A and B are shown apart, each in its own frame.
Chain A
Amino acid sequence: GAVVSQHPSWVICKSGTSVKIECRSLDFQATTMFWYRQFPKQSLMLMATSNEGSKATYEQGVEKDKFLINHASLTLSTLTVTSAHPEDSSFYICSAVQGGNQPQHFGDGTRLSIL
């Protein structure tokens, strides 16, 4: 149980393109989803916390207009990197929580490469 699916797993696109990443909880309803960014050989950096039906809470230093988060249902959250540039290249990982005192379960990540 507690499977989180992330799509796509790898995307390469040109500078200026907007890229959407999906995070789905497959066998549970996620009250909260989190989006992280991970640079090579580094730890995870929390970007934002997303609750279904409400606006995401962004961490300090994360541009909300650059990284658009939509949490339209209890099983789907999306992260859109708008007008992506090479410095946005990174590994993006989402996690989802069922509720109560349950731990976060992570997707397999999306490797974004901007040329």
Chain B
Amino acid sequence: GEDVEQSLFLSVREGDSSVINCTYTDSSSTYLYWYKQEPGAGLQLLTYIFSNMDMKQDQRLTVLLNKKDKHLSLRIADTQTGDSAIYFCAESRGYSSASKIIFGSGTRLSIRP
């Protein structure tokens, strides 16, 4: 199948870390992505990881990939109110730019004061 699954909602306290989880079904995935969508806007690429990597860190963002379990996570350190958005996990299965991306349903992250 072509399923990419995420939990729909996550609520965290400002300053805490947020961890958004994603599972996928196709073991032939080549790239895995995290996109952020703010209300009424398009998608902003946050980070992506190649399938032969286990971890990627970029400032407050840490991506962990467990290829055996087909599990991807995004950790946002020191979560701020500006991090409130929908976060989409996505995968592609080819190596060319024409490879289509399969998106998860998105996780809505809300921040509590």
Contacts and interface: CB of A to CB of B under 8 A. Distances in A.
Interface of A: 4, 6, 31-32, 34, 42-44, 46, 49, 51, 93, 95, 97-109, 111
Nearest to B6: A43
Contact of A31 (B31, B97, B103): B97
30 contacts: A6-B42, A31-B97, A32-B97, A34-B100, A42-B106, A43-B88, A43-B104, A43-B105, A43-B106, A44-B88, A44-B103, A46-B100, A49-B98, A49-B100, A93-B42, A93-B43, A97-B98, A100-B97, A101-B95, A101-B96, A103-B31, A103-B33, A103-B48, A104-B45, A106-B43, A106-B44, A107-B42, A109-B40, A109-B41, A111-B40
Nearest to B88: A43
Q: Which of B35, B42, B98 has the most CB of A within 10 A?
A: B42
Contact of B97 (A93, A101, A107, A111): A101
Contacts of A95: 43
A48 B105 CA distance: 19
B111 interface: no
Interface string B34-67: 0100001111110010000000000000000000
Contacts of B101: 34, 46, 104
Nearest to A42: B105
Given A42-B105, A111-B40, A106 B100 contact: no
